[in-house]
Amino acid sequence: MFETPAEELERLFQAQHRASRAQPDVPLALRRERLLRLRTLIDDHAPVLAAAVQADFGMRSRQLTEVADLFLLRAQLASTLRQLARWSRPQKVRTPLYLQPARAWVQRQPLGVIGVISPWNYPVQLALGPAIGALAAGNRVLLKPSELTPHTSAKLADLVAQFFAPEEFCVVQGGAAVAEQLSRLPLDHLVFTGSTSVGRKVALAAADKLTPTTLELGGKSPAILDADCDLADAALKIAHGKLLNAGQTCIAPDYLFVPKGSEAAFAGAFRAAVVRLFPRFEGNPDYAAIITPRHLARLRELLQDAREQGAEVQQIEPAAATHGAPAQSLGDGIARQMPPALVFGVHDQMRLMQEEIFGPLLPVIGYETLDEVVGYINARPRPLSLYWFGNRTAVRDEVLTRTVSGGVTVNDTLLHIAHESLPFGGVGDSGWGAYHGEAGFLRFSHAKAVLVQSRWGAGALLYPPYGRRFERVMALLRKLL
């Protein structure tokens, strides 16, 4: 794996820093032109990027990368280009009576240099997604993609260098040492997407330079089935949300609440949904491989730990594998395609219920009352996402009111991240700050307060020396408040 030398990373940062200070306000036309360049990069090189992702996973179809990485970026770019002029305008604000006839507005300006440390699970979307908001706001971008996807990282570095000058947008490569060096630079903002444990280290490193951060972390995102939900429909949507990218999704349902007595019915509906989505697992490029042998070993350890502590594991074997289409070997990932499993009888001492799973394993918990569910969720770190399935509006609203999570999708999974106008981000242990749409534009902008005093301004009435006139003016102002 290529690693950017420390002195080269420092040189690239200094070039971007100088450029950002030489041009503190970037014209709207240039911002749009940079976004159009990024769109051309994606449109013209989508097959090459999908092939790089496949090479890194060993088994992940082009279509999966298209829907989970490239399409979301295209939608985000289209929405940003449509609304960028409105977002960029100075925002007039009402001036209070005691300051009139002064005028005031908020001027949105670029922060400067935005660092992005992106993960391996969606290596194109989560690398370029923050860059869209940063470039739209007029910033420079210094991107460090994951070392676990070296083919994708190298291809991103090559393509970005073709479309952007290094002082606009550049990619550095390497492992933890490069990420740490990037985190310690005096950036104007740093975006990190990854685990909560590594996020803490990034935040500590950035704090030394007072670098503000956006942390997109993870955690254990619950899904809840209400008693009146359509079980078959819910099972299909949960299976899709859980097994997309073999569960290697930060907002995947991590565990599921079902009404007590419905466990067996859900297991049957879930099994049928999985077979519908993936008639076979082995050699099926639509069913992604676990990214590395180390990650696969960890998932197997989670299952074994649950079994040893009394859990019932229902592994969903590829029943149709022998009479479906022949297995297609797209790479060495075929050995890392882990069949899904439902896990019943779980408790808090199991690693499965302590760690973010990030794989195709779904613990199922039976419940009797909504209070049990809400109490369980609220007793734990706040999740990145929450999913509720049902038809009773009052119950839905109670769940929304009584729980706090980064985002929610009702009667489906994952889709709140696909809505370009919804902010995406965590809360508490699942992260802080949000991007996507206008939320991202604002995250990467400085809101500069501007007040223009009128020649008729009466501020001098409050200047010293203080006396009877001052007291009369203050008494009048207090009445006007």
Q: Cα dist. 381→200, 228, 402, 427 in Å?
A: 14, 28, 14, 9
Which 3-state string (H, E, C) describes 188-226? CEEEEECCHHHHHHHHHHHHCCCCCEEEECCCCCEEEEC
Task: Quote helix, strand, coil % in the chain, to nearest 5.
Answer: 50, 15, 35
| 411 Cα distance to chain centroid | 20
Point out the catalytic residue in the list 167, 170, 229, 250: 250
Exactly one of 147, 168, 216, 438 is catalytic; which is it? 216
Buried residues in 72-95 as b, exposed as e (16+ CB within 10 A): bbeebbebbbebbeebbeeeeeeb
229 is catalytic: no
Of 286, 117, 124, residue with least CA distance to 217: 117
Q: How long is the chain?
A: 481
Contacts of 456 (CB under 8 A, 6+ apart): 101
Tell me, yes or no, if 216 is annotated catalytic: yes
- Residue 202: how many CA atoms within 13 Å on its side-chain side? 29
- CA 415 – CA 219 distance, rounded (Å): 18
Cα–Cα distance measured from residue 380 to residue 342, given in angstroms and rounded to the nearest whole number: 22
Residues 6+ away with beta carbon under 8 Å from 369: none
The string of DSSP letters for 424-451 reads EE--GGGEE-EESHHHHHHHTEEEEEEE
Catalytic residues: 216, 250
